């Protein structure tokens, strides 16, 4: 795993995309820090972090689109598979290299609160708890992006899908607020989610039968529930979307609440998508 880590980490330094990521990240957060702290005189670095979350819609796909897709396109994945390494070690080596490179600018901005404290009092616990939550959110999004990259050998396709997924996650709370709590809306929404999940299963397994059975069972169960007791579905879709919100959970930390369930949630999402990436790579290895 160490050799994979070194290989991947080094590639980010020699790749123009890595430089673009670091430059955009530091420039954007520098501008927002200047405006909030020095122009508006708010010694609240947590507000800066909360305001720059939108850049992850672009930065995460830029970094993750090549993690697995590039190896498949260049056929270097066959070389990796020939090494005496398990798929887990290959994926973890890639993921930790990706995360380590992503965290380099975060290590730089961790100094900003110290500089800001020279000009006013800051809430240390809230500031660094928010920065920690930002790192956990980033780790989860990077895992999701890497998983998407493992499903295709086309980096552009991986980037576009990742942008759409991260954008939906970013707008999740707003979308949930706009959705009606009507039972029919929830029924349609959950049916669409079931179909999308079935498509994901098909992409991973290349087996039509299993996702077809899953879709039939899920939609049939929703239909029975909607016909017999539609009140159970009323308002559930917006609630579920809010519960699964990645970005919305940052609000707890920004407003001074150290929310342990959110920490567990971020770690769980990270673990889940790293696991799914291992399965996708393993599937390719033995196919």
Domain count within the chain:
1
CA dist 113 and 172 (Å) reads 29
Query: Is residue 200 predicted with pLDDT exceeding 80?
Result: no
How many percent of the chain have pLDDT more than 90?
A: 16
pLDDT winner (highest mean) among 3-12, 44-53, 189-198? 44-53
Mean pLDDT of the chain, nearest integer: 83
5 vs 75, higher pLDDT: 5
Average pLDDT over residues 150-166: 85
Confidence of residue 216 (pLDDT cuts 50, 70, 90): confident
Confidence of residue 261 (pLDDT cuts 50, 70, 90): very high
Answer whether residue 84 is part of any domain.
Answer: yes
CA dist 214 and 201 (Å) reads 9
Residue 81: predicted pLDDT: 66
Residue 80: predicted pLDDT: 65
Residue 73: predicted pLDDT: 67
CA dist 12 and 19 (Å) reads 8
What is the CB neighbour count within 10 angstroms for residue 52?
A: 18
Convert the pLDDT of each residue in 33-85 to its tens digit: 888 777 777 778 888 898 899 999 988 988 888 787 776 666 666 666 666 67
Q: What is the dihedral of CA 102, 71, 146, 200, to 10 degrees?
A: 170
Residue 82: predicted pLDDT: 65
Of 57-61, 216-220, 230-234, 261-265, the one with minimum mean pLDDT is 230-234
Answer whether residue 200 is part of any domain.
Answer: no
Answer whether residue 275 is part of any domain.
Answer: no
Query: Is residue 220 predicted with pLDDT exceeding 60?
Result: yes
Residue 78: predicted pLDDT: 64
Residue 287: predicted pLDDT: 58
How many percent of the chain have pLDDT more than 70?
A: 89
Answer whether residue 244 is part of any domain.
Answer: no
Answer whether residue 7 is part of any domain.
Answer: yes
Answer whether residue 266 is part of any domain.
Answer: no
150 vs 282, higher pLDDT: 150
Answer whether residue 133 is part of any domain.
Answer: yes
Query: Is residue 135 predicted with pLDDT exceeding 90?
Result: yes
Answer whether residue 248 is part of any domain.
Answer: no
Residue 123: predicted pLDDT: 85
Residue 286: predicted pLDDT: 57
Q: Cβ(154)–Cβ(73) under 8 Å?
A: yes
Residue span of the structural domain in which 127 resides: 2-171
Residue 275: predicted pLDDT: 92
């Amino acid at each position: 795993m160490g050799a994979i880590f070194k290989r991947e980490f080094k590639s980010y330094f020699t790749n123009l995309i890595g430089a673009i990521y670091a430059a955009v990240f530091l420039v954007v957060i520098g501008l927002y820090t200047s405006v909030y702290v020095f122009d508006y005189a708010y010694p609240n670095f947590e507000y800066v972090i909360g305001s720059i979350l939108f850049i992850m819609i672009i930065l995460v796909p830029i970094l993750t689109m090549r993690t697995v897709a590039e190896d498949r396109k260049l056929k270097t994945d066959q070389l990796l598979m020939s090494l005496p390494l398990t798929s887990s070690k290959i994926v973890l080596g890639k993921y930790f290299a990706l995360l380590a490179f992503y965290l380099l600018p975060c290590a730089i901005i961790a100094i900003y609160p110290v500089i800001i404290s020279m000009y006013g009092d800051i809430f240390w616990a809230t500031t660094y708890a928010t920065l920690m939550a930002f790192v956990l959110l980033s780790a989860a999004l990077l895992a999701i992006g890497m998983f998407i990259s493992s499903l295709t050998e086309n980096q552009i396709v991986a980037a576009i899908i990742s942008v759409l997924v991260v954008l939906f996650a970013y707008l999740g709370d707003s979308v949930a607020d706009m959705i009606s709590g009507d039972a029919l809306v929830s029924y349609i929404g959950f049916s669409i989610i079931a179909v999308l999940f079935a498509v994901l299963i098909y992409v991973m397994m290349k087996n039509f039968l299993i996702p077809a059975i899953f879709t039939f069972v899920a939609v049939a169960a929703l239909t029975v529930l909607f016909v017999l007791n539609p009140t159970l579905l009323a308002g559930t879709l917006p609630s579920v979307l809010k519960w699964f919100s990645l970005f919305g959970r940052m609000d707890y930390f920004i407003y001074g609440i150290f929310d342990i369930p959110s920490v567990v949630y971020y770690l769980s999402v990270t673990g889940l998508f790293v696991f799914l990436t291992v399965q996708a790579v393993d599937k390719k290895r033995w196919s």
